[in-house]
Each structure stands twice: as structure tokens, then as C-alpha cells.
């Protein structure tokens, strides 16, 4: 009897709860309107006066738009473009994809000698380092091979497209815009230091070990008292990985330099020439190869980390070289042709369209977001984020997004390293001069995920000197405050569950 009474009571409470929930869902439609109104009022107060913004926020459990402003207007996406690269790469290349660097020979091996030439085929691996190459030749030594009687030919793509259209010219000598080549060693980047003058020496540049073949001359000076009205450094790129530093630096302390090589093949040639001196004997020279002989056989290789690990580094660190190397791989895989920015763009457009992302009027130029010619709107970025959230093929990418105050490019960002944003925001940043974007998710305890896109273009460079939280941080604070107000449906469910337990 007691069990029957409990069952009847439970059914009655559930029936009452269902009526309450139905009523609450009707109220929720009004609640969304209230949230939208509240956000509209907040946005009108905090919106920047001199730049353009686009906003979109969506509840992922109901797919209801909470807020939208200029969501169809095209903006420069900067590094939020990498979200498109990540999804496209997972769809086209698959999680098992790796870059493979291979050593081949068509010559017989006699008494520890390769009786002829060897061929080192590069694959555009953006993570390949000189120690990785050293390990390839060390594996030959373990096999008892210690001499190449001919030449070592380096094989890569011919007449490569190493920069995308729309890359800023004065970025090209800096490591974050290193050339995207099939020949990549140490991210095609060298590091050094510009040192102030002393009693015995003028100001000069010193390069770290590993800067093979790279030379930097300088007639630049330091201005310790910042007395010059116009004072800035200028790095001039010359042929054969030569550079000249000119101008002045307002200060008296040494500063670090991160210089992108301009000739990736020569950098690889100089690296291998130096490396082989310590690993094995080479009778000939390190030279440019044209093709792999038909009868060649594989004798050693190096594999990169699998694609998920590459994407993890790309998204967390906003690594441009990984992004654009994968972008060219998309073109290579999709069209079965040498990869380029041109066919990479076409491949990405088709892959994402096939996945249901409407890229009408968008302009895709590269995979990193470095190009000023890229154009996306908030709805298109939101569609890509929705794939990450709901499609099991892409959901692992969620853990690769920087987490506010915890990881990646959001670890130390102002406004994100303390409550209410700390730990609650998982998003891809997108910043360059005049651009500050953010696209990702708010993940609150006991609340469904909220997708958001905040795009801001046309920012004044003067804002950098004000040391204030960005507009996107202020908007997300307002959004979280609205989301934390309990909805009628949640309250009805909680009341029903509590009544049944009682």
C-alpha cells in the first residue's frame, strides 16, 4: 500500500511538474527576450566608440540565440581563422595524419658505405627540428652505415608559395610569419640578441647556436635616454638569409631578436652540411634534388606527432606555421596536387561547405589568419564552433582551446586571469594591429554551454597603452551575469525533483 501511495504521489508530482515545465518553457521565451534586452542595454554602455563590433551568443542546449549584433557583417578574423583550419584538417586528413621526413637511396650499401647518393625528402613538417634530423642519421650509424659516397640531395616542393596574399610586408622578417615551405627546420626561425655598446664595442647583434648560414649586420644604435623624437628598429631582409638591422632602439638594455629565414632551402642546406660533419662522412655535398629515383629504397625516417597533438599546439599557442602548413596539406590532399595557399583555400571552402557551414561571401586566404584579406562573419565562426561542440569527430578540439587564466593565449590575458572569466572561458583568440577577436564557449557549473563570438575591428593602436581589459572581456562579464540568473525551466525542474525526493 505504501509503495502504491508513493508511486501515485510520484506520478502526480511529475504530472504537475510537466505542467510547470510547459508553462516555464513559455516563460523562457520571454526570459530570452529579457536577457537580450539586458545585454543590449549593457552593450550600448560598454561598446567602443571608434571601432566596429559583431556579437553572437547562443545557448547550446536549446540552440536559441541569446544575443546577436552585426552577426552577418564580414570582419578580419585574425587567428580565430585557426578554428576553420582545425575542423577542416580533422575532416580531411584524419586523426592519424602525421608528417613524414624520409631518407632514401638508390645505391647499394657496402661495408658501411652508401655507395652513391642519398635523398632526404622533406614534407613541410612544421615541428621538424635539427635534433630530429640528427636522429635520422644516428639511426644509420646504428645500422653500421657511416659514410655517403655521393651527394645528399634535399627534396621538396618546387616553386613554392611560401607566403599568403595579404600578409603584412613588415611582418615577414619575424618568426610568427616564417615562410611556409616544404623545407622547415626549427620553425625556420633563428634567435639572437641586440646588445648595447660598451666602452670597447659598438652596438651589435649576436646569434644563438643553430643559426646556420644566417648573418645579421647592423648599424643600429641604442637611445638610452629616449631623446630622439623618432626612434625605431628596422630589419632589412637581404638575399641568402642575410639581414641588416638599422635605426635605433629607445632604451639601454639588450633586446631579444626572433628572425624568420627568407630562404628555407639554403637554411636546410646549411643545417645539414653542419649536422653531417658530426654524424657521418659525406664525400659529396648537400645539394638541391629534383626527384626521387624510381629504384630508391627507404632507409630511415622521422614522423611528427599525430594530427590531434599538432592541433593542440596550434590552438593553444596560436602557432601560425602549423596552421599554414596544414592549410597547404589540405590543398595537397583534397586535390592530389602540390599544396599551396591557393588550393588550400579552395579545399577548406569545399570541406566546410560539405560539413554544412555556409561560407557565402566569406574570403579564405590562409589557415593562420595572418592575411588581412581573410573575411568571416560571426555566424560562420559560430557554425564552426557548433561542429566542435556537437560532432564527435571534432569534439576533442574543445580541450585544445585556451582556458581563461589556465592555458594557452588566455592564461595571462588581462581580464581573463581572475573571476568571473577565469576558468569559465574556452576560446580561440584572434589579435593583430587593429583587431581583437574571441570565439569559443562559456562553461558554467550547472549550466548548459554558451557559444559566443566577439569580433572587433578598427581598433586604435593607442588602446594598447591604456592597459585596460578588452571589450570582449567586458562583454563576456555582462553575458555571464545574465546567464547566472536562474531560468524558469530550471527552477521548475528543481522544485519537482525536490518534491519527489520529499
The reply to whether 470 belongs to the active site is: no
Q: For 51-151, list the strands marked E by DSSP.
A: 52-59, 64-69, 100-105, 109-110, 113-114, 118-121, 147-148
Per-residue pLDDT tens over the stretch 421-456: 999 999 999 999 999 999 999 999 989 999 999 999
Contact in structure between 363 and 76 (CB atoms under 8 Å): no
* DSSP type of residue 322: H
Is 82 designated active site? Answer: yes
Residue 374: per-residue pLDDT: 98
Residue-wise pLDDT tens digits, 336-354: 999 999 999 999 999 999 9
Regarding predicted confidence, which is higher, 487 or 249? 249
Active-site residue, selected from the candidate residues 79, 117, 333, 340: 79
pLDDT for res 225:
84
| Greatest CA separation for the chain | 102
Reading the block at residue 63, the C-alpha cell is: 540552440
Contacts of 251 (CB under 8 A, 6+ apart): 222, 223, 224, 226
Quote the CA–CA distance of 88 and 399 in Å, as a whole number.
Answer: 17
User: Could you report the per-residue pLDDT of 136-164, keeping only the tens digit for each?
Assistant: 999 999 999 999 999 999 999 999 999 99
Single pTM value for the model: 0.90
171, burial (CB in 10 Å: exposed 0-12, middle 13-18, buried 19+) = middle
| pLDDT tens per residue across span 43-58 | 999 999 999 999 999 9
pLDDT tier at 39 (50, 70, 90 boundaries)? Answer: confident
pLDDT of residue 88 exceeding 60: yes
pLDDT at residue 495 tops 70: no
CA–CA distance, 152 with 284 (Å, rounded to integer) = 7
pLDDT value for 502: 43
Instruction: Tell me which of 211, 218, 318, 487 is the catalytic residue.
Output: 318
* Lowest-pLDDT range of 115-124, 225-234, 346-355, 363-372: 225-234
Q: Has 477 been annotated as catalytic? A: no
Distance between CA atoms of 301 and 133, rounded to whole angstroms? 9
Quick check: 500 pLDDT over 70? no
pLDDT at position 3 over 60 = no
Kindly tell me the burial class for residue 52, based on how many C-beta atoms sit within 10 Å of its own C-beta (0-12, 13-18, 19 or more): middle
Q: For residues 467 and 247, which has the higher predicted lDDT (pLDDT)?
A: 247
Task: Give the pLDDT mean for 379-387.
Answer: 98
Q: Say if CB 461 and CB 434 are below 8 A apart.
A: yes
- Of the residues 82, 266, 328, 332, only one is catalytic, namely 82
Q: What is the pLDDT of residue 487?
A: 55
Pairing status of strand 297-303 against strand 450-457:
unpaired
Cell numbers of 229, please?
623624437
Q: What's the pLDDT score for residue 486?
A: 66
Q: How far apart are CA 257 and CA 190, in angstroms?
A: 8
Cβ neighbors of 166 (< 8 A, separation 6 or more) are 365, 366, 370, 371, 372, 373, 374
Amino acid at each position: 500500500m505504501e509503495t502504491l501511495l508513493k508511486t501515485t504521489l510520484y506520478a502526480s508530482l511529475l504530472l504537475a511538474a510537466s505542467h510547470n515545465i510547459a508553462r516555464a518553457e513559455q516563460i523562457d521565451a520571454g526570459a530570452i527576450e529579457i536577457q537580450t534586452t539586458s545585454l543590449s542595454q549593457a552593450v550600448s554602455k560598454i561598446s567602443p566608440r571608434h571601432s566596429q563590433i559583431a556579437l553572437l551568443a547562443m545557448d547550446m542546449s536549446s540552440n536559441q540565440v541569446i544575443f546577436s549584433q552585426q552577426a552577418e557583417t564580414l570582419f578580419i578574423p585574425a587567428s580565430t581563422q585557426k578554428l576553420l583550419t582545425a575542423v577542416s584538417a580533422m575532416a580531411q586528413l584524419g586523426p592519424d595524419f602525421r608528417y613524414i621526413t624520409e631518407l632514401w637511396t638508390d645505391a647499394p650499401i657496402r661495408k658501411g658505405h652508401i655507395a652513391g647518393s642519398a635523398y632526404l625528402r622533406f614534407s613541410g613538417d612544421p615541428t621538424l627540428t635539427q635534433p630530429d634530423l640528427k636522429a635520422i642519421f644516428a639511426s644509420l650509424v646504428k645500422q653500421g652505415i657511416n659514410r655517403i659516397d655521393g651527394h645528399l640531395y634535399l627534396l621538396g616542393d618546387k616553386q613554392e608559395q611560401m607566403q599568403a596574399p595579404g600578409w603584412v610586408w613588415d611582418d615577414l622578417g619575424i618568426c610568427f610569419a616564417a615562410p611556409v615551405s616544404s623545407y622547415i627546420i626549427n620553425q625556420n626561425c633563428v634567435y639572437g640578441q641586440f646588445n648595447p655598446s660598451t666602452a670597447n664595442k659598438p652596438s651589435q647583434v649576436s646569434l644563438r647556436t643553430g643559426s646556420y648560414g644566417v648573418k645579421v649586420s647592423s648599424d643600429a644604435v641604442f637611445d638610452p635616454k629616449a631623446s630622439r623624437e623618432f626612434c625605431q628598429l628596422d630589419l632589412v631582409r637581404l638575399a641568402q638569409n642575410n639581414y641588416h638591422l638599422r635605426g635605433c632602439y629607445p632604451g639601454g638594455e639588450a633586446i631579444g631578436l626572433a628572425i624568420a629565414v627568407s630562404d628555407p632551402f639554403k637554411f636546410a642546406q646549411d643545417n645539414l652540411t653542419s649536422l653531417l660533419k658530426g654524424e657521418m662522412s659525406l664525400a659529396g655535398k648537400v645539394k638541391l634534388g629534383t626527384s626521387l629515383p624510381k629504384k630508391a629504397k627507404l632507409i630511415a625516417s622521422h614522423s611528427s606527432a599525430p594530427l590531434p597533438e599538432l592541433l593542440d599546439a596550434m590552438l593553444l599557442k596560436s602557432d601560425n606555421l602549423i596552421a599554414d602548413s596544414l592549410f597547404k596539406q589540405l590543398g595537397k590532399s583534397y586535390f592530389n596536387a602540390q599544396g599551396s595557399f591557393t588550393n588550400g583555400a579552395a579545399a577548406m571552402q569545399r570541406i566546410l561547405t560539405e560539413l554544412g557551414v555556409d561560407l557565402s561571401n566569406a574570403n579564405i586566404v590562409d589557415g593562420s589568419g595572418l592575411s588581412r584579406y581573410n573575411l568571416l562573419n560571426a555566424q560562420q565562426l559560430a557554425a564552426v564552433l557548433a561542429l566542435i561542440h556537437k560532432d564527435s569527430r571534432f569534439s576533442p578540439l574543445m580541450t585544445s582551446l585556451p582556458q581563461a587564466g589556465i592555458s594557452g593565449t588566455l592564461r595571462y590575458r588581462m581580464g581573463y586571469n581572475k573571476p568571473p572569466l577565469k576558468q569559465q572561458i574556452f576560446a580561440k583568440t584572434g589579435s593583430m594591429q587593429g583587431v581583437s577577436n574571441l570565439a569559443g564557449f562559456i562553461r558554467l557549473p550547472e549550466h548548459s554551454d554558451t557559444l559566443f563570438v566577439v569580433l572587433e575591428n578598427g581598433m586604435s593602436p593607442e588602446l594598447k597603452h591604456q592597459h585596460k581589459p578588452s571589450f570582449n572581456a567586458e562583454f563576456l562579464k555582462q553575458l555571464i551575469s545574465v546567464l547566472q540568473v536562474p531560468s524558469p525551466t530550471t527552477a521548475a525542474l528543481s522544485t519537482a525533483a525536490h518534491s519527489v525526493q520529499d
